[in-house]
Amino acid sequence: MKKDKALIIIDVQKDFCTGGALPVPNGERIIPVLNKYISLFKKNRFPIVASRDWHPEDSKHFKSNGGVWPKHCVVKSDGAKFHPKLCLPASAKIVSKGTIPSEDGYSAFDARDNNKKKLSRIIKSIGVKEIFIGGLATDYCVKASALSAIKENFKVYLLKDAVKGISSKASADAISLMREKGIELLDFRKASKLFAGRVKYTRKEA
Protein backbone atom coordinates (compact mmCIF):
# COMPACT_ATOMS: atom_id res chain seq x y z
CA MET A 1 0.00 0.00 0.00
CA LYS A 2 1.42 3.37 -1.02
CA LYS A 3 1.63 5.72 1.92
CA ASP A 4 1.47 8.96 -0.01
CA LYS A 5 -0.89 10.78 2.36
CA ALA A 6 -0.50 11.51 6.07
CA LEU A 7 -2.69 13.08 8.74
CA ILE A 8 -0.75 15.54 10.88
CA ILE A 9 -2.49 16.52 14.13
CA ILE A 10 -1.00 19.58 15.78
CA ASP A 11 -0.82 19.98 19.57
CA VAL A 12 -4.20 18.68 20.75
CA GLN A 13 -2.98 18.81 24.36
CA LYS A 14 -4.80 19.54 27.61
CA ASP A 15 -3.08 22.92 28.10
CA PHE A 16 -4.53 24.18 24.80
CA CYS A 17 -8.09 23.17 25.70
CA THR A 18 -10.63 24.56 28.18
CA GLY A 19 -9.19 24.44 31.69
CA GLY A 20 -5.59 24.35 30.44
CA ALA A 21 -2.74 26.83 30.91
CA LEU A 22 -3.01 28.41 27.43
CA PRO A 23 -6.50 27.53 26.27
CA VAL A 24 -7.56 28.07 22.68
CA PRO A 25 -11.22 29.18 23.02
CA ASN A 26 -13.33 26.01 22.58
CA GLY A 27 -10.23 24.16 21.38
CA GLU A 28 -11.67 20.78 22.40
CA ARG A 29 -14.60 21.20 19.99
CA ILE A 30 -12.46 20.03 17.08
CA ILE A 31 -11.74 16.68 18.76
CA PRO A 32 -14.83 14.75 17.54
CA VAL A 33 -14.06 15.90 13.99
CA LEU A 34 -10.39 14.96 14.33
CA ASN A 35 -11.51 11.53 15.51
CA LYS A 36 -13.46 11.12 12.26
CA TYR A 37 -10.34 12.02 10.25
CA ILE A 38 -8.36 9.54 12.34
CA SER A 39 -10.85 6.79 11.43
CA LEU A 40 -10.70 7.76 7.76
CA PHE A 41 -6.90 7.60 7.66
CA LYS A 42 -6.83 4.36 9.66
CA LYS A 43 -9.34 2.73 7.34
CA ASN A 44 -7.18 3.69 4.36
CA ARG A 45 -3.98 2.62 6.13
CA PHE A 46 -2.37 6.03 5.87
CA PRO A 47 0.03 7.22 8.56
CA ILE A 48 -1.09 9.47 11.40
CA VAL A 49 1.33 11.79 13.18
CA ALA A 50 0.57 13.82 16.31
CA SER A 51 2.84 16.67 17.33
CA ARG A 52 3.10 17.92 20.88
CA ASP A 53 4.45 21.10 22.40
CA TRP A 54 7.05 19.83 24.86
CA HIS A 55 8.85 22.67 26.61
CA PRO A 56 11.50 22.59 29.35
CA GLU A 57 10.78 24.69 32.48
CA ASP A 58 13.46 27.19 31.43
CA SER A 59 12.12 27.73 27.90
CA LYS A 60 12.63 31.30 26.67
CA HIS A 61 9.19 30.88 25.10
CA PHE A 62 7.65 31.53 28.55
CA LYS A 63 6.91 35.01 29.96
CA SER A 64 8.82 34.10 33.10
CA ASN A 65 11.97 33.71 30.97
CA GLY A 66 11.50 36.73 28.70
CA GLY A 67 9.06 35.21 26.20
CA VAL A 68 5.40 35.93 25.56
CA TRP A 69 3.47 32.88 26.75
CA PRO A 70 2.26 31.65 30.12
CA LYS A 71 3.92 28.42 31.11
CA HIS A 72 2.32 25.53 29.17
CA CYS A 73 3.02 22.01 27.96
CA VAL A 74 6.00 21.53 30.24
CA VAL A 75 7.74 18.21 29.56
CA LYS A 76 5.91 15.30 31.25
CA SER A 77 3.37 17.59 32.98
CA ASP A 78 -0.33 16.76 33.04
CA GLY A 79 -1.12 19.76 30.80
CA ALA A 80 1.24 18.44 28.14
CA LYS A 81 -0.78 15.21 27.76
CA PHE A 82 -2.86 14.72 24.66
CA HIS A 83 -6.51 15.51 25.37
CA PRO A 84 -8.12 12.29 26.65
CA LYS A 85 -10.95 12.52 24.10
CA LEU A 86 -8.53 12.41 21.17
CA CYS A 87 -8.56 8.81 19.89
CA LEU A 88 -4.96 8.43 18.84
CA PRO A 89 -4.25 4.91 17.61
CA ALA A 90 -1.23 3.08 19.03
CA SER A 91 0.32 3.26 15.56
CA ALA A 92 0.33 7.08 15.54
CA LYS A 93 3.79 8.59 15.46
CA ILE A 94 4.43 11.16 18.16
CA VAL A 95 6.83 14.04 17.56
CA SER A 96 7.86 16.68 20.12
CA LYS A 97 8.80 20.30 19.54
CA GLY A 98 10.02 23.35 21.45
CA THR A 99 12.14 20.94 23.46
CA ILE A 100 15.26 23.07 23.79
CA PRO A 101 15.20 26.25 25.92
CA SER A 102 16.15 28.57 23.04
CA GLU A 103 13.43 27.49 20.61
CA ASP A 104 9.73 28.34 20.39
CA GLY A 105 8.97 25.30 18.29
CA TYR A 106 5.91 26.61 16.50
CA SER A 107 6.34 24.36 13.47
CA ALA A 108 5.76 20.61 13.69
CA PHE A 109 8.43 20.38 10.98
CA ASP A 110 10.97 21.19 13.71
CA ALA A 111 9.58 18.36 15.82
CA ARG A 112 11.39 15.06 16.31
CA ASP A 113 10.48 11.55 17.45
CA ASN A 114 12.14 9.65 20.32
CA ASN A 115 15.04 8.76 18.03
CA LYS A 116 15.59 12.44 17.22
CA LYS A 117 14.33 11.94 13.67
CA LYS A 118 12.67 15.04 12.21
CA LEU A 119 9.06 14.92 11.04
CA SER A 120 9.89 15.56 7.37
CA ARG A 121 12.42 12.70 7.30
CA ILE A 122 9.97 10.36 9.02
CA ILE A 123 7.21 10.95 6.50
CA LYS A 124 9.39 11.34 3.39
CA SER A 125 11.08 8.03 4.14
CA ILE A 126 7.72 6.24 3.86
CA GLY A 127 6.70 8.02 0.66
CA VAL A 128 4.33 10.70 1.96
CA LYS A 129 3.70 13.47 -0.60
CA GLU A 130 0.46 15.00 0.67
CA ILE A 131 -0.31 16.08 4.20
CA PHE A 132 -3.62 16.88 5.86
CA ILE A 133 -3.28 19.25 8.81
CA GLY A 134 -5.64 19.80 11.73
CA GLY A 135 -5.28 20.81 15.38
CA LEU A 136 -4.33 23.82 17.51
CA ALA A 137 -3.78 26.69 17.13
CA THR A 138 -4.68 27.97 13.65
CA ASP A 139 -2.83 31.26 14.15
CA TYR A 140 0.38 29.75 15.58
CA CYS A 141 1.46 26.15 15.31
CA VAL A 142 -0.99 25.07 12.60
CA LYS A 143 0.02 28.04 10.43
CA ALA A 144 3.76 27.57 11.03
CA SER A 145 3.53 23.83 10.32
CA ALA A 146 1.50 24.25 7.13
CA LEU A 147 3.89 26.90 5.78
CA SER A 148 6.95 24.75 6.54
CA ALA A 149 5.29 21.83 4.77
CA ILE A 150 4.89 23.97 1.63
CA LYS A 151 8.59 24.95 1.83
CA GLU A 152 9.44 21.26 2.03
CA ASN A 153 7.43 20.63 -1.15
CA PHE A 154 4.49 18.73 0.27
CA LYS A 155 1.01 19.17 -1.12
CA VAL A 156 -0.86 20.60 1.88
CA TYR A 157 -4.52 20.40 2.82
CA LEU A 158 -5.85 22.37 5.80
CA LEU A 159 -8.75 20.62 7.53
CA LYS A 160 -10.86 23.71 8.14
CA ASP A 161 -13.39 21.93 10.35
CA ALA A 162 -10.63 20.49 12.52
CA VAL A 163 -8.62 23.59 13.46
CA LYS A 164 -9.19 26.36 16.02
CA GLY A 165 -7.24 29.52 16.74
CA ILE A 166 -6.42 31.75 19.68
CA SER A 167 -7.57 34.99 17.93
CA SER A 168 -10.30 34.88 15.30
CA LYS A 169 -8.81 37.81 13.35
CA ALA A 170 -5.31 36.32 13.35
CA SER A 171 -6.75 32.93 12.40
CA ALA A 172 -8.64 34.40 9.43
CA ASP A 173 -5.43 36.16 8.31
CA ALA A 174 -3.48 32.91 8.74
CA ILE A 175 -5.99 31.05 6.56
CA SER A 176 -5.77 33.73 3.81
CA LEU A 177 -1.98 33.50 3.87
CA MET A 178 -2.07 29.70 3.73
CA ARG A 179 -4.37 29.86 0.70
CA GLU A 180 -2.03 32.33 -1.02
CA LYS A 181 0.78 29.83 -0.52
CA GLY A 182 -1.21 27.14 -2.32
CA ILE A 183 -2.69 25.31 0.65
CA GLU A 184 -6.11 23.82 -0.10
CA LEU A 185 -8.98 23.92 2.37
CA LEU A 186 -10.99 20.77 2.98
CA ASP A 187 -13.84 19.74 5.22
CA PHE A 188 -14.68 16.18 6.25
CA ARG A 189 -17.20 15.64 3.47
CA LYS A 190 -14.71 16.68 0.78
CA ALA A 191 -11.91 14.68 2.36
CA SER A 192 -14.09 11.54 2.46
CA LYS A 193 -14.74 11.99 -1.26
CA LEU A 194 -11.01 12.21 -1.95
CA PHE A 195 -10.62 8.82 -0.27
CA ALA A 196 -13.84 7.25 -1.56
CA GLY A 197 -12.26 5.35 -4.46
CA ARG A 198 -9.77 3.68 -2.17
CA VAL A 199 -12.28 2.52 0.42
CA LYS A 200 -14.17 0.63 -2.31
CA TYR A 201 -11.06 -1.33 -3.31
CA THR A 202 -10.59 -2.56 0.24
CA ARG A 203 -14.04 -4.19 0.32
CA LYS A 204 -14.11 -7.96 -0.03
CA GLU A 205 -17.04 -8.25 -2.44
CA ALA A 206 -17.48 -5.89 -5.46
Question: Which of the residues are catalytic?
Answer: 11, 97, 141
28 interacts with, out of Zn ion, ligand VGL, none, CB within 5 to 8 A per kind: none
CB 48 within 8 A of CB 91: yes
Give dist(CA 34, CA 41) in Å, integer: 11
With CB under 5 to 8 Å by kind, the binding choice for 137 among ligand VGL, Zn ion, none is: ligand VGL
CB 95 within 8 A of CB 101: no
Select from 33-41, 51-59, 78-86, 121-129 the region that touches Zn ion (CB under 5 A). Answer: 51-59
- Residue 46 or 82: the one with the smaller Cβ distance to ligand VGL is 82
Round to whole Å and give the CA distance between 16 and 13.
6
Q: Is the dihedral of CA 17, 18, 23, 24 positive or negative?
A: positive
* Shortest separation between residue 93's beta carbon and ligand VGL, angstroms: 18
Nearer to ligand VGL by Cβ, of 40 and 137: the residue is: 137
C-alpha to C-alpha distances, 77 to 12, 71, 118, 152, nearest whole angstrom = 14, 11, 23, 32
Q: 40 or 141, CB closer to ligand VGL?
A: 141
Closer Cβ to ligand VGL, 46 or 69, answer by number: 69
CA 15 → CA 99, 146, 172, distances in Å? 16, 22, 23
Query: Residue 105 phi/psi, 5° resolution?
Result: 70, 45
With respect to ligand VGL, which residue has the nearer C-beta, 141 or 147?
141
> Looking at 1-9, 87-95, 115-123, 132-140, which segment touches ligand VGL (CB under 6 A)?
132-140
Binding mask 83-112 for Zn ion (x = CB under 5 A): ------------------------------
Partner whose binding site includes residue 11, from Zn ion, ligand VGL, none (CB under 5 to 8 Å by kind): ligand VGL
Those residues with Cβ within 8 angstroms of residue 60's Cβ, 6 or more apart along the chain or in another chain: 66, 67, 101, 102
User: Which one of ligand VGL, Zn ion, none interacts with residue 12, CB within 5 to 8 A by kind?
Assistant: none
Out of 5, 7, 11, 48, the only residue in the binding site for ligand VGL (CB under 6 A) is 11
Task: Tell me the C-alpha to C-alpha distance, in Å, between residue 107 and each of 29, 139, 146, 147.
Answer: 22, 11, 8, 8
Asked if residue 53 binds Zn ion (CB under 5 A), the reply is: yes
